[in-house]
Amino acid sequence: FCEVVPFISEFRFYVVESRVICRENYDGNPHDMVDESIVEDAIAKLDAAGQSLAAYPIDFGLLRTGETALVEMNDGFSVGPYREISAEDYTVFTVTRWTELLATRVA
């Protein structure tokens, strides 16, 4: 059970090899930006815990309180592009994750 929280804006961060390659607003006012230091800290903590993937989207939102909160994180193999990511960046994002998956495949 989780408390419902009101977001005023939400952003997707496309991460490849622990680096944000694109950020885009998908809900709310794009000028109500999340605290990107929290995003970078989350990426670093995933890396330190050995839980990051070669490519993944991670979404954060800005709450009415002004706090930045995690919305969700997904696997890079199963997410479609939003409006702002370029075809080139999306291809790198997808191929990077698929390459990682194929490299860990058990024969």
Q: What does pLDDT average to over the chain?
A: 94
- The tens digit of pLDDT for each residue in 12-64 reads 999 999 999 999 999 999 999 999 999 999 999 999 999 999 999 999 999 99
Q: What is the pLDDT of residue 104?
A: 77
Confidence at 107, pLDDT banded by 50, 70, 90: low
Q: What is the pLDDT of residue 82?
A: 87
**Rounded-to-integer distance, Cα 106 and Cα 7, Å:** 41
- The tens digit of pLDDT for each residue in 74-92 reads 999 889 898 899 999 999 9
**Rounded-to-integer distance, Cα 35 and Cα 41, Å:** 10
Q: Which amino acid is at 21?
A: I
Query: What is the 8-class DSSP label of residue 64?
Result: T
